[in-house]
């Protein structure tokens, strides 16, 4: 039985990757800052009631800023694969994460790579990089696009990406960067515009609210479906040699297109309900991120299975059901 260690296991990608690896017969260990049920909501369906018992899925409490602790964990677990997904996303309108988040993103990667090197374990290492490392490079962006970060978050991600390459080239680790473009799901936080939109559609459809306030509707994104993307992560670690790959859809849509598709699915007129709010305008929204997926398609045979319209419909349908259940619970009580 193969064993995987996942940092950021309680996040959107971590939870989907956990489900996928378990379906492939893996044992999964996850590193998380807290094992309390309130902090593991995306995993609770796996931790209770479905027969999964240790060692199939185990959570370990800790952080990424202690090389010694991480080395002990790697030596204890002896993972075949390490998926480093932990890094707070940057979605604030102001465009900057705070200092502790920068530490986790940049220095956490350094501590984890160094712990792996010191342990001598032959584990394969995946780092979840971000398309924001490319800054305002013209589309499409590929594995050879120069790194040109335009924010502290992107700079921290660039540092982590370069570190991963350095440990591959200098120390011979199997260390690979998956450069991820936007990928969404019902498990996305509503701090992200995609989930903010679909939750609002459900609330408007139920009569709970009337308006949705957004920033630049003409902002463009390369959107994909998170469960598709975690399979790309796994495929990268099944190769004989480590390499970096851009993971995206290659298709670009505006926020307005996402809004229109979401409201249309619920038979609502988006123009009656959406209002512009300058508080949600981000300076970088004029840039167009677009993935060049020719390399991952040709080398790994991967491409997203879920198109844009289906992604939006899946999210709206799920949020409508969540809202209906929440309303029913309110009535019952």
More reliable by pLDDT, 51 or 217? 217
Does the structure show a pLDDT above 60 at 91?
Answer: no
In the chain, count H helices and then E strands. 11, 13
End-to-end CA distance of the chain: 46
pLDDT at 242: 99
Q: Write phi, then psi, for 220 (nearest 5 degrees).
A: -115, 145
pLDDT tens string 227-242: 999 999 999 999 999 9
Task: Reply yes or no on whether 153 is catalytic.
Answer: yes
Q: Which of 297, 283, 299 is nearest to 240 (CA)?
A: 299
Q: Which of 30-34, 157-161, 288-292, 306-310 has the lowest mean pLDDT?
A: 30-34
Cβ neighbours around 286 below 10 Å, total? 11
Does the structure show a pLDDT above 70 at 94?
Answer: no
Which of these CATH numbers, 3.90.25.10, 3.30.70.920, 3.30.43.10, 3.40.1000.10, describes 193-221+252-289+306-332?
3.90.25.10
pLDDT tens string 47-71: 865 556 566 999 999 989 999 999 9
Fold held by 3-184+222-247 = Rossmann fold (3.40.50)
Q: In whole numbers, what is the pLDDT of the chain averaged over residues?
A: 93
Task: Reply yes or no on whether 19 is catalytic.
Answer: no
Q: Which of 5, 84, 10 is nearest to 40 (CA)?
A: 10
| Catalytic choice (15, 16, 83, 130) | 130
Q: Which of 130, 223, 234 is nearest to 179 (CA)?
A: 130
For the chain, the structural domain boundaries read: 3-184+222-247, 193-221+252-289+306-332
Task: Reply yes or no on whether 132 is catalytic.
Answer: yes
Residue 95 Rama label (left phi>0; alpha psi -120 to 50; beta):
left
The encoded tokens of residue 43 equal: 């995993």
C-alpha distances in angstroms, 195 versus 50, 201, 207, 230? Answer: 28, 10, 18, 19
DSSP strand pairing (245-247 vs 175-180): parallel
pLDDT at 90: 59
Distance in angstroms (rounded) separating the CA atoms of residues 261 and 79 = 42
The helix or strand, by DSSP H or E, that contains position 124, with its residue range, turns out to be strand 124-130
| Catalytic choice (83, 153, 225, 229) | 153
Compute the average pLDDT of residues 222-229.
99
pLDDT tens string 99-155: 567 888 999 999 999 999 999 999 999 999 999 999 999 999 999 999 999 999 999
C-beta of residue 244 within 8 angstroms of C-beta of residue 310: no
Does the structure show a pLDDT above 90 at 311?
Answer: yes
pLDDT at 95: 47
C-beta of residue 145 within 8 angstroms of C-beta of residue 181: no
If pLDDT is split at 50, 70 and 90, which confidence band does 282 have?
A: confident
Does the structure show a pLDDT above 70 at 98?
Answer: no
The encoded tokens of residue 332 equal: 């019952």
C-beta of residue 13 within 8 angstroms of C-beta of residue 226: yes
pLDDT tens string 186-216: 999 999 999 999 999 999 999 999 999 999 9
If pLDDT is split at 50, 70 and 90, which confidence band does 33 have?
A: confident
Distance in angstroms (rounded) separating the CA atoms of residues 142 and 247 = 9
Distance in angstroms (rounded) separating the CA atoms of residues 270 and 263 = 6
More reliable by pLDDT, 325 or 89? 325
| Catalytic choice (26, 81, 132, 249) | 132
Q: Which residues of 166-200 are buried (b: 16+ CB within 10 A; e: fewer)?
A: ebbeeeebbbbbbbbbbbbbbbbeeeebbbbbbbb
More reliable by pLDDT, 94 or 320? 320
pLDDT at 50: 59
The encoded tokens of residue 223 equal: 């959107």
Q: Which residue has the tokens 């390490």?
A: 82
pLDDT at 88: 73
Cβ neighbours around 310 below 10 Å, total? 12
Compute the average pLDDT of residues 307-314.
99
For the entire predicted model, the pTM comes to: 0.94
C-beta of residue 167 within 8 angstroms of C-beta of residue 175: yes
């Amino acid at each position: 039985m193969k064993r995987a260690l996942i940092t950021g296991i309680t996040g959107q990608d971590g939870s989907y990757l956990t489900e996928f690896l378990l379906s492939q017969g893996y044992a999964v260990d996850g590193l998380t800052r807290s094992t309390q049920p309130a902090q593991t909501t995306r995993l609770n369906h796996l931790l209770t009631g479905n027969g999964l018992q240790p060692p199939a899925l185990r959570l370990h409490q800790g952080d990424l800023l202690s090389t010694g602790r991480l080395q002990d964990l790697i030596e204890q677990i002896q993972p075949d694969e390490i998926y480093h997904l932990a890094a707070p996303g940057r979605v604030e309108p102001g465009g900057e994460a705070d200092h502790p988040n920068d530490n986790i993103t940049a220095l956490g990667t350094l501590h984890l790579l160094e712990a792996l090197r010191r342990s001598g374990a032959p584990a394969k290492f995946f780092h979840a990089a971000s398309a924001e490392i490319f800054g305002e490079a013209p589309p499409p962006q590929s594995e050879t696009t120069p790194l040109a970060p335009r924010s502290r978050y992107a700079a921290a991600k660039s540092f982590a990406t370069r570190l991963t390459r350095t440990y591959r080239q200098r120390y011979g680790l199997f260390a690979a960067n998956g450069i991820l473009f936007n990928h969404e799901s019902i498990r996305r936080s509503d701090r992200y515009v995609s989930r903010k939109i679909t939750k609002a559609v459900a609330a408007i459809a139920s009569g709970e609210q009337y308006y949705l306030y957004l920033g630049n509707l003409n902002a463009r994104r390369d959107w994909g479906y998170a469960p598709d993307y975690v399979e790309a992560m796994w495929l990268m670690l099944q190769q004989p040699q480590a390499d970096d790959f851009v993971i995206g859809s290659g298709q670009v849509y505006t926020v307005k297109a996402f809004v229109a598709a979401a409201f249309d699915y619920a038979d609502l007129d988006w123009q009656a309900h959406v209002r512009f709010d300058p508080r949600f305008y981000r300076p970088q929204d004029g840039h167009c991120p677009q993935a060049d997926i020719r390399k991952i398609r040709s080398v790994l045979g991967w491409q997203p299975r879920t198109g844009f319209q289906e992604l939006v419909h899946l999210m709206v349908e799920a949020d409508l059901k969540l809202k209906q259940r929440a309303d029913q619970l309110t009535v019952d009580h």
